[in-house]
Chain A
Amino acid sequence: MGKYILKKIIYFFITMFIIITATFFMMNCMPGDATQADTKVLPAAVVENLKARWGLDKPVFERYLIYLGNLLQGQFGESYKTPGMTANQVIAERFPASLQLGLQAVAVGLIIGLILGILAALHRGRVIDFVCIFIAIIGVSVPSFVFAALLQRFAGGGFFPIIGWPSKGADIADEFRYTFLPTMSAAIGGIATYSRYMRSSVLDVMGSDYVLLAKAKGCSRRQIIWRHVMRNALMPIISIVAPQIAGVVTGSFVIERIFSIPGLGRYYVDSVNGRDYPMIMATTIFFAMIFIVCMIGMDILYAVVDPRVRHSIIEGKEENV
């Protein structure tokens, strides 16, 4: 098990190194640099000073090493567009909103999705089953920005503000009022995915031999469902939640834009459109880091929770799982 975790951590560093290197050199190939970030044409002396300030007068490879060194010390760089603003400050300021939105969306999606999926599987062929299938199909067919727009149009304006985000220290009612619509629009995809997976997972387990055995032994329906079905049916969900969590935490670019949420996703899109290279690099690396940490965390959690997976890892056969 320890070997497995160690292997995963080594993967983390290799992947991060590749991402950092690729991003750095791709950004370097891009036309334009700090001296052209503004539309003004600067005098030669100013350009030279600016280049020296950003270290752009050094050869590419040296800059790359400096950048790696800075990253190891936790320094993500400084913005071209708003000099003096470091990426660390931006992340510290912007990320909490994204994180809150992401976690709320995953939580809502998980709760509603799992309940729907379980009910659908237990009442197969009844109304609730069709409702679940319907939601799952709609959820994967309609983009979240359409949901967001529809929610704004039909639910927003009155009690729920159309755009905005609670300021720091807002009371619980305001938190709810401002975050409800964005959370729901970000959660809809999750609800669809989780309910569909949970439904088939529960059906799978219900058809297994150990459930039949439990029935034959005379366990009550409630006992079978809670002791045997739920515990086993929830396992596969872990593996699909991992990329979802990472995706929602980092990837609600669209929702943040529609609801004008001061999150990191929106900042990322803005800096891409504004070609603020140090900030693009910093946020890319930060997103990648969160994503990979989530994936590895879930892999390890999966192994901890499911003895079958743990067993195959110890035997060194995890690729075949």
Chain B
Amino acid sequence: MEKKMAFAAGSGTAAQVSDDCLTDDLFERVGISEQESEKISRESVSYWKDAMRRFRQNKVAMASLVILLVIILMCIFEPIFGPIKYDTQDYDVTNQGPTLQHIFGCDDLGRDIFARIWVGGRVSLAIGCIGALVSLVVGVIYGGISGFCGGIVDDIMMRILEIIVSIPYMVVVIIFSLFLGKGMGSLLIALCVTSWTGLARIVRGQIIELKQSEYVLAARVLGTPSFKIILKHLIPNTMSIIIINTTFAIPSFIFSEAFLSFLGMGIQPPLTSWGAMAALGQQQMTYYPHELIFPALAISVTMLAFNLLGDGLRDAFDPKLRK
């Protein structure tokens, strides 16, 4: 396009311009070389590189990523190197507000809330990440098989999924944690039982759409075996939805954990989580609001960061969805 314009400018128009500033010798014939025009002057930008570039330009999402990294690093290292252990009790400072020594204050048993936040964060984040990972694996495999096989297999698998979806989620979680006993493991299983359905549906839809696309047909015509089509075409093309969904799944796991722990059905003492801490704080809220505010803040900031990160990823991977 540029070359064409330069050529046009050089060929005729300049001669007709009466303006003194524009003389003929200012223009130069560029010409078109066949080889030049075919040359790829810039490195081709792959889908992933393009998405990463868009993501890096999104300041809100980058800030969320940094905040999340800080929170994760603090959760990993604070309990190891921190000066105060999360279960050390000091009866002289029960319910004390924030001070220099205990910057987030102490709870009703004189335990340092700052130390407990990071130990609780370990549990909350671990549940969020493991849960999201499990539901990712199950959801992708289930949705993938259903979408890829089609026909009667798809029909049966979707009917089963419809039944699972129509069971109220909170009730399933409660029944499971009752059945398996309270604790982190059973909580995780309970949360995973129902959470994979959304992703399975989305993956199935995407696979069905991809299966009908021309390039998959072309691959089939060329005699590409099924597993190669799956690896080469189907998985890379569903990857972006999977990543976006998983990013949104993590906060919803953290949320559910918080609710269950709040009801006393999640994490049991002496271990703690943000939800469990908020539940304790809620009882003390009237007189010692800091015991609720800090765990609540921890949940909210993490949720906010994950949600904004998910929004950013969605915008980066799928500009069509940007509203």
Residues of A bordering B, CB below 8 Å: 11, 14-15, 18-19, 23, 26, 29-30, 137-138, 140-143, 145-146, 149, 152-153, 199-200, 203, 246-247, 250-251, 253-254, 257-258, 268-269, 272-273, 275, 280, 284, 287-288, 291-292, 295, 319-320
Contact = CB atoms under 8 A, between A and B. Distances in A.
Interface in B273-302: 275, 278-279, 281-282, 285-286, 289, 292, 296, 299-300
Nearest to A145: B262
Given A11-B162, A291-B171, 11 more contacts: A11-B166, A141-B303, A143-B258, A145-B258, A146-B300, A149-B281, A254-B262, A280-B178, A284-B171, A288-B171, A291-B168
B292 A149 contact: yes
Contact of A153 (B167, B175, B289): B289
A144 to B, nearest CB: 8
B115 to A, nearest CB: 21
B95 interface: no
13 contacts: A11-B162, A14-B163, A15-B163, A26-B175, A29-B179, A142-B296, A145-B259, A146-B299, A149-B282, A254-B262, A292-B166, A295-B166, A319-B158
B171 A287 contact: yes
A143 B170 contact: no
A200 B323 contact: yes
Contacts of A140: 251, 303, 307
Interface in B176-202: 178-179
A319 B281 CA distance: 46
A132 B282 CA distance: 28
A19 B167 contact: yes
Interface centre among A141, A257, A273, A284 (most CB of B within 10 A): A141
Contacts of B103: none
B259 to A, nearest CB: 6
Q: Which 8 A-B pairs have the closest CB atoms?
A: A141-B303, A141-B304, A291-B168, A146-B296, A142-B300, A26-B179, A251-B170, A15-B163
A142 B301 CA distance: 8
B316 interface: no
A273 B262 CA distance: 13
B260 to A, nearest CB: 9
Interface centre among A15, A149, A153, A292 (most CB of B within 10 A): A149
A269 B169 CA distance: 15
B73 interface: no
Contacts of A250: 168, 170-171
B119 interface: no
Contact of A257 (B174, B263, B299, B323): B263
